[in-house]
Structure 1
Amino acid sequence: MAFDPDRLRQARQLALKTKQDVAAAIGVSPAAVGQYESGVFAPRAELIESLARFLRVPISYFAAGRPQARLESGSVFFRSLRATAAKQRNKAVAYTEQVWELANMLETHVRFPPVSIPGFAGGEIAPDTFASDPVTAAQELRLAWDLGDGPIPQMLRLVESKGIVTVLVPMVEAEVARIDAFSTSALGRPIMVLSPDRADDVYRHRFSVAHELGHLILHGGRASGTIDLEREANRFAAEFLTPVQMMDAELPSRLDMAHVLKMSNRWGVEASSIIRRSRELGKVSEASARRGYIRLQQMNVTIEPVAKFPGEQPLLLKKAIGLAEQIGINVPTLAHELAWTPSHLRSMLGEADLRPNLSLVL
């Protein structure tokens, strides 16, 4: 078997292991592991078996020849960059590489929707396709996608219909889920990795999708991680979900909390976003907005979970697998092609491990 050094790097990052961890597990020096990953020389056959056991992948995972994407951390837009450790970001990058591998493998069997973003080709949007101003860019995309000026009923289904691959990270992938949401267009087809996060609030989830869409539209080719880029993506999301022209028409000149909640439900955004819009448009004062936020906390508004809304959960990859099964390509077959275990493939789709737990009573 020809050994692929980058597969070791990927498996190690997915397992949240350092080179020192791997070295101690298989009985070599950390320098040797570094040489395996850089391709200076390959590990012996018995060490490859030890690597597979320690990193919990099939031995065939390390075989060269399968399509692969190498993603640099600077090409991924992390919403919670400052709150996460490097090893968490590395795992998220490796996770996104595997999302690409799964989508790429499925596309050999099933025709995906084309990427329907104006000016998009080869992982980039042509310069000057959209305005650099986030608000204007959001308006331009709404117009290009013929969304009118009303609420967007299903935000996640919308982006999937435009050829953007999305995954909802299963909570067993806690280190990836902690990052909240991230995206990249550097792999040819845009990818969003989303998490319901600890709050599991569908309105916050919808904003995350719009925020990542803002990164894809505005920031291709720019290094991620700056506060300015995050603020621009927030401004894009706010305009895309709640167009300023409609907010100006619908928001009253005084803060009515019953009306705020009604608009929150109508537009599919957090009530705090409606208050913020009121302040931005000069409908209410800063003091009134602060009182509104306090009142909102006291009201204990019910949070709707993401699982309650099918249109806000990924479907593209699952439907692709369903179509592949109709031509005889099932989950075990795909897992074999990817050199994954079937359970890992299912977890990438956000499915729970349904195997019963075996316990022995002494």
Structure 2
Amino acid sequence: MFNCSKLALARKRRQLTKKNLAERSGITAVTLTRLETGITTDPSMETLQALAGVLAYPVDFFFGENFDELTTDAASFRSLSTMSAAQRDAALGAGQIAFSLTKWINARFDLPAPDLPDLREDDSISAAASVRNHWGIGSKPIPKLLSLFEAKGIRVFTLAERNKNVDAFSCWNDGTPYIFLNTFKSSERTRFDAAHELGHLLMHRHTPSGHLNGEREADMFAAAFLIPQDDLISHMPRVHSLKHLIEKKARWGVSVAALARTAFNNKLISDWYYRDLCKQMSMLGYRTVEPEQREPEKSVVWKKILEMLWKDGITKSHIAKELCLPIDEIEALIGPLVNINVPTRTTEFKKLSVVR
């Protein structure tokens, strides 16, 4: 049966208005509205093919069960105030597609179960220490943050929108935590975004987006989680210069700006000196281009999944076909997280072994 909500989802993923889609597909705006609201329940194949052609989605996508819903209130966006409605809806749509992809993977693989303590009663600094203690990592640096998250049951995906207004977001679905990252920034800033979203998952898991002080709390959590105070003071008791900060930032895998701010918050540098460092960073362009960037982190889980699927002759194109999705949606969600050269041809389905 035709599913009007999936037509709306595809349109929002392509960031098209109803008027845009109607004009490009050669149908009237009234017809499209009737389709999306469910008034028209049996559109002609000609109409569906026209819509599918513009949206670059398979016609079969417009049929079948609803995807799990993801609302603005259920997602913690880093930059909700700067996003357009179209950007927000596209990002939420990516989340819905990720839920469907996760179900497909869960039916074939045994992924790590979520292991996130409920820290809604903790302040940011205490929460950072608590989760480090819960995970048994003490105060040492975390060289592979995404791998740690995956090992603790967080499903990590990326967003196709390479736009500074859509940084990252997180959410829970069916008891599983998700983090969506926009990897157009440096690895250091992406790591901070990921830690920021972990803070939301731990401290604000059932609080609507826009929670008072929520973004500041998540930023404070991220800094404390990535740069524990004891380790910071032990390895950088004083800040001699901007060059000194650049040399030291590699230990914690953070941006020079984040390290400077954390040092200031921990009273390792004066207010005057911090302002001077900020001026230097701005003049040198370090707000947009990170000095001595580290290599982007990759997913361990997705690499293993794709390698095991390929051994059974199954590719990303096959996954897309199973889910009635265009291949670019799969690539957008996991492509930047893997660096293996796995072919994308479609092959006959084979039963998979289970990952333990």
Common topology (TM > 0.5):
yes
1:224 and 1:60 map into 2 onto residues whose CA distance is: 33
Deviation at 1:17, TM superposition (A): 1.0
CA contact (8 A) 2:26 2:50 kept: no
Q: Give the alignment partner of residue 183 of structure 1, picking from 150, 153, 170.
A: 170
Q: Which moved more, 1:224-233 or 1:101-110?
A: 224-233
- The structure-2 alpha-carbon separation of the partners of 1:330 and 1:252, relative to structure 1 and needing over 3 Å to count, comes to closer
Deviation at 1:238, TM superposition (A): 0.6
Contact 1:165 1:316 in 2 (8 A): no
Q: Please point out which of 204, 210, 215 is paired with 1:230.
A: 215
1:74 aligns with 2:73: yes
The structure-2 alpha-carbon separation of the partners of 1:226 and 1:32, relative to structure 1 and needing over 3 Å to count, comes to farther
Q: Deviations over 1:247-303 (max 9, x none)?
A: 344443564444423321212112222322232222332111111223344567763
Asked if 1:38 corresponds to 2:37, the answer is: yes
Instruction: Quote the residue 1:303 is aligned against.
Output: 291
Unaligned runs of 5+ in 2: 344-356
Q: Contact conserved, 1:202 with 1:304, CA < 8 A, in 2?
A: no
- Relative to structure 1, the CA distance from residue 245 to residue 25 in structure 2 (aligned partners, 3 Å threshold; closer, same or farther) is same
Q: How far apart in 1 are the matches of 2:316 and 2:259?
A: 44
Give the CA deviation at 1:84: 1.5
Q: Deviation at 1:76?
A: 1.4
Q: Is the 8 A contact 2:76 2:209 kept in 1?
A: yes
Q: Which residue of 1 aligns with 2:6?
A: 7
Letter of the structure 2 residue corresponding to residue 266 of structure 1: R
Matches within 5 A, 1:232-247: 232-247=217-232
CA gap 1:142/1:313 in 2 versus in 1, 3 angstroms: same
Deviation at 1:227, TM superposition (A): 6.1
Pick closer, same or farther for the CA change 1:27–1:211 going to 2, 3 Å.
same
2:321 is matched with which residue?
336
Counterpart position of 1:111? 110
Q: Report the counterpart of residue 156 of structure 2 in structure 1.
A: 166
Q: Of the candidates 134, 141, 147, which is equivalent to residue 137 of structure 2?
A: 147
Answer with 133-142 or 187-196: which moved more.
187-196
Residues in 2 aligned to 1:52 and 1:160: alpha-carbon distance in whole angstroms: 35
Aligned partner of 2:306 in structure 1 is 321
* Counterpart mapping for 1:199-238 below 5 A: 200-226=185-211, 228-238=213-223
1:290 is aligned, of 275, 287, 307, to 275
Q: Percent identity of the aligned residues? A: 28
Match of 1:98 in 2: 97
Distance 1:345 1:260 in 2: 38
| In 2, Cα distance between equivalents of 1:299 and 1:83 | 26
Q: Secondary structure at the match of 1:332?
A: helix
Alpha-carbon distance between aligned partners in 2 of 1:227 and 1:207, rounded to the nearest angstrom: 21
Distance in 2, matches of 1:331 and 1:234, equals 35
- The one-letter code matched in structure 2 to 1:61 is F
Question: Does the CA-based 8 Å contact 2:168-2:182 persist in structure 1?
Answer: yes
Cα gap change, 1:4/1:305 in structure 2, threshold over 3 Å: closer, same or farther? farther
* Letter paired with 1:151: P
Structure 2 letter corresponding to 1:133: D
Cα distance in 1 for partners of 2:51, 2:249 equals 51
Is the contact between residue 318 and residue 349 of structure 1 (CA under 8 Å) also seen in structure 2? Answer: no
- Superposition RMSD on alpha carbons, in Å? 2.7
When residues 49 and 137 of structure 1 are mapped into structure 2, their CA distance, relative to the original with a 3 A threshold, is: same
Instruction: Output the amino acid matched with 2:13.
Output: L
Contact 1:255 1:288 in 2 (8 A): no
- Shifted more, 266-275 versus 145-154: the winner is 266-275
Structure 1 portions without partners, runs of 5+ = 119-124, 356-362
1:193 aligns with 2:175: no
The 10-residue stretch of structure 1 (255-264 or 54-63) with the greater mean CA deviation from structure 2: 255-264
Aligned residues: 336
TM-score by length of 1: 0.83
Question: How big is the shift at 1:226?
Answer: 4.7
Rounded to whole Å, the distance in 2 between the matches of 1:333 and 1:131 is: 44
**Aligned twin of 2:52:** 52
Q: 3-state SS of the aligned residue for 2:11?
A: helix
Cα separation, 2, equivalents of 1:117 and 1:143? 12
Distance 1:305 1:56, change over 3 A: farther
Over 3 Å counting, the alpha-carbon distance change for 1:182 and 1:34 in structure 2 is: same
Task: Name the structure 2 match of 1:358.
Answer: none
2:346 matched residue in structure 1: none
SS in 2 for 1:112: coil
Distance 1:6 1:50 in 2: 17
Mapped contact 2:320–2:327 kept (Cα < 8 A) = yes
Query: Do the aligned partners of residues 304 and 180 (structure 1) sit closer, same or farther apart at CA in structure 2, a change above 3 Å counting?
Result: farther
Query: What TM-score comes out, normalization by structure 2 length?
Result: 0.85
> Counterpart of 1:189 in structure 2: which amino acid?
T
Note the C-alpha offset of 1:325.
Answer: 3.1
